[in-house]
A and B are shown apart, each in its own frame.
Chain A
């Protein structure tokens, strides 16, 4: 029993992910990637994880996609449109189809197919916040340090002048 909303959202997510890699123009690819992230956020809403959906839209669609668009504008060249690699492409398609088909085939015989959710569990945001601060406070601080270090590193790298 599948919901039509779920089917639509998941098909859009995967289709935009493919389009992000296959679009001729890199900017269109970035836009398709942002739309794919939006589809994943919709999946999170279907999974009753509103906070993750909000966070996903803020971080992925809001900052990463914009950052990617700016970098594409910085490093843009016309030549890329013509780059096509034949053998690697078929190799990639074969590897992806093999991975998908084998894992899907074996997972169809597991208990995942009969696992239905328990209804009506909506965590509110304060529970996430208290778990974040109480149980995972060290990981939270380490994540903050990693963010700071990566931003400083990225700025330093981008400031480095060519001789």
Chain B
């Protein structure tokens, strides 16, 4: 990752996904915001959470397309991002000035224990001088992490959540059900927080757009994780008679265990989206059936081996009525129907494989160049380095 710039920044396969999947989804999300009932809600700017990496190509693409609007003094202050590297946070902020950057490990910050999680809190309380602990590094770091977490929570909800994590959703070494899954559950719960609009009403979002990226695999998943994926597929098959035939047609097998043993990749692709859908359902959201769940696949080679990335793109809706107005343990009818549709779609529709054969390289390159030209307006790294 030379100079902190994302190594796949120039990858045109990735850029195809940005322009073909992410951009239209964000456009439609902006249209949804513009259709809000009150003027203040309609005129507000899109709130975007991302793991944009130093290059911030996704943010700048939305800037070029006028989907993300900067503040009157030119700040990207409705863009929020995490980066594990403190240095990359700084580099990112040079390219998208005014964006709100969080240094640190996203999952660790999200999963940090906070005794006051569900009560009224503010992000500055943890920063108060500790009464009974010495002023040592451990104390300070804990204070900062807690403050950071609360700060992060206060920025919720976002209109677009781009979890372009470039890593595995399921990690064999993680205690089941996995840190990332637990973190996502927290994030989707915080998405229910009311949006405060200055001078206007506070209202929970009806929906948001979600982009999620994961590597396929890993192949050495533990039995618990494999069992979870099998159960997802098995439950789907048990509740919809037609799925068995669909699966047989697509994979040649009708048994989840056999699928796992013989076609791990296919097994993962059928099971994983439902894991995500379940986390959403568990936090009072569901994948909108109208847009559905679009899955794109790209293959990357590195050091002689290759791996596949899946990009999931979806619109997410809030249950209606929401959970605080439903009987415990029940789902809204609309959400249940949407889930059935989604499952069938995942079983029936293969992912879109993005390869050199399917993209227009010249057009994508021209688009990427336009975005980079915009970036140079904010920060010209070449000029600054070229002494």
A-B complex is real: no
Contact residues of B with A, CB < 8 Å?
none
Contact residues of A with B, CB < 8 Å?
none
